[in-house]
Structure 1
Amino acid sequence: MWTLAPWQGRFLPHPLPPKERLRAYASWCNAVEGNTTFYATPTRDTVETWAGQTDPGFRFIPKLPKTITHERRLGDVEEELRAFLAAIEPLGPRAHTLWVQLPAAFAPADLGALAAFLRRLPGSYRYGVEVRHRAFFEDARAARLLEQVLAGAGAEWIPFDTVTLFQSLPTSDAERDAWLKKPRVPRRSRALTDRPVVRYLGRDDVDRTVEGWRFWVDTVAAWLREGRSPTVFVHTPDNAEALPLARRFHDDVRAVLPRVEPLPEPVPAEPPALF
């Protein structure tokens, strides 16, 4: 995500060598979704460069590879899991939560596979699971069974809030594409652990995106008061304004809870003018 083209030269300095791009992103935000790991396990050398560009307190939420979660559906994945865990080891404490995103076809009947998989995972990491089957959101028994499985492993349920996206018809190509690809499920906001993770998807219109996250501002402030350490990712369909929006969300939470530390000033996209 830190190499998104619309950010280059606007929010992040451009051009930058690959080994400096994450450092520039980390001056804007203190966490990142590891979405690229879903498509391929990175080399250990690559992950070492990620660690070298970020402070120990920076949060990576790397997604398990799709070969594990989507292609093999959590079964017979020992080799792939071992390779993934070896690759991300250089992140150290930066590996805040390992993200198990399950396909929409993963239903309540498959919870046995999830429970067995979570039992095999090393206890040195924290885990979060994202489900997309509507039964987990609409059937109280299915939700309760999933929570029991997650609680047994100390894992979090990662909600993907798309309510704002689907409130009205799309008005851009990016929104139309998101309508086709993103899950349309009810909002869920119950935290199971001290490290809740939220994915929020707004609209390409900034005002509508901000209006849609009001619920999460109050929820996150409440979690902080309870002593939890939440991580929130702010998206829009085109993600063009995601960096300043993420900082604006942080500021909105600080307006409710002033004790929250401000984010550092980001690296300027352009060098300062001489005159």
Structure 2
Amino acid sequence: MIRYGMAQWQHPAWVNWLYPASLPSAARIGRYSQVFSTVEVGSTFYTKVDDAQLLRWYESVMDGFRFSFKAPQAVTHRLTERPWREVQRDWSVFMESLKALQAKLGPTMLQFPAVYDERALDTMLALCDMWTLSTPLSVEVRHLVYFDKSETETSFLSALSSRGVNRVVMDSRPVFSTEAYCESLMDAQKKKPRVPCHPIATANHPVVRFIGHPDLPRNEPWLNQWAAKLSQWLSEGLTPSVFVHSSDNIAAPTLAAKLDEKVCLLTSNYQSALVLPQSQEQVSLW
């Protein structure tokens, strides 16, 4: 199957669409999990989330749902400036906090910043080697040396593959395909990495982060490419997680549904589990 999700489970523009306005904010994750099968959780990157809160989220979602938590920035973004024993400690504490959630865990993300080049690779891999959970692990890198299609990228991919670790494939091509003519595009182009898109699976649960353009029809060429790649991965027995963003995330669910429609057309015996509530406003965007 393909697990589709967003970078968040609630958005003001999704009220009276993905969930009714009468639904309490705390209950929206449950409604979200009835539509999508995964979510990218960035809050664990920025702060320590209490174990009790993690458990509440866990108990709120459907049994087949999967969380993809981001590792704390103290681990991934201060990797070389802190004592290694402190990084190890924080990584171990984070893994321990996820143990009770393993039945509903998708690929946990180690997201490394663009300042870490090939000199940090051994340390990044050492974190991968510490992974003790039975659930998938994924790695996102942003330094351009890891996209050189030569020795460094080959070594990186080989190292992930030998460990059964998934590469996160970032596709920000759509959001950089035009000049930033609105505030959301300006913000997205400042924050999202502009890296080449190399759709290579290194393990059984490849992770895709697709950053869509707010002019929805403009996304068609890239959605077509991803539909073909996802169909290929399905034929190989892989289980991709696809996290769909847009510059303001308002239409991200619509983009996910459009992508899944394209996968359905290309893949025999594929039954979509993604059905959005009807909304004339969203439909008319295409």
Structure 1 equivalent of residue 166 of structure 2:
156
Distance 1:25 1:90 in 2: 21
The answer on whether the counterparts of 2:38 and 2:106 sit within 8 Å (CA) in structure 1 is no
The CA deviation at 1:268 is 7.9
Structure 2 equivalent of residue 252 of structure 1:
262
Structure 2 equivalent of residue 39 of structure 1:
46
1:52 aligns with 2:62: no
SS at match of 2:271: coil
Structure 1 equivalent of residue 282 of structure 2:
none
Distance 1:89 1:8 in 2: 33
Residues 1-28 of structure 1: CA deviation (Å, up to 9, x unaligned): 1122221233322243243111111122
The CA deviation at 1:235 is 1.2
Going from structure 1 to structure 2, the CA distance change for 1:264 and 1:132 (only over 3 Å counts) comes to closer
Aligned residues: 269
Distance 1:19 1:221 in 2: 35
SS at match of 1:200: strand
Distance 1:227 1:208 in 2: 30
Distance 1:197 1:115 in 2: 18
Identity, % of aligned positions: 27
The answer on whether the counterparts of 1:99 and 1:129 sit within 8 Å (CA) in structure 2 is yes
Going from structure 1 to structure 2, the CA distance change for 1:158 and 1:66 (only over 3 Å counts) comes to same
Structure 2 equivalent of residue 240 of structure 1:
250
Match of 1:222 among 232, 251, 254: 232
List gaps (5 residues or longer) in structure 1: 270-275
1:205 aligns with 2:215: yes
The CA deviation at 1:211 is 3.2
The CA deviation at 1:147 is 1.3
SS at match of 1:49: helix
The CA deviation at 1:135 is 1.0
Structure 1 equivalent of residue 271 of structure 2:
261
Match of 2:32 among 25, 31, 38: 25
List gaps (5 residues or longer) in structure 2: 1-7, 280-286
Structure 1 equivalent of residue 5 of structure 2:
none
Distance 2:234 2:274 in 1: 20
* Matched letter for residue 159 of structure 1: V
SS at match of 2:35: coil
Going from structure 1 to structure 2, the CA distance change for 1:65 and 1:10 (only over 3 Å counts) comes to same
The answer on whether the counterparts of 1:44 and 1:86 sit within 8 Å (CA) in structure 2 is no
Distance 1:251 1:211 in 2: 14
Matches within 5 A, 1:124-203: 124-203=134-213
SS at match of 1:213: helix
Give TM-score scaled by structure 1 length: 0.91
Going from structure 1 to structure 2, the CA distance change for 1:266 and 1:40 (only over 3 Å counts) comes to same
SS at match of 2:30: helix
1:112 aligns with 2:122: yes
Give TM-score scaled by structure 2 length: 0.87
The answer on whether the counterparts of 1:51 and 1:90 sit within 8 Å (CA) in structure 2 is no
Deviates more, 1:101-110 or 1:53-62: 53-62
SS at match of 1:232: strand
- Over aligned residues, Cα RMSD in angstroms? 2.0
The CA deviation at 1:40 is 1.4
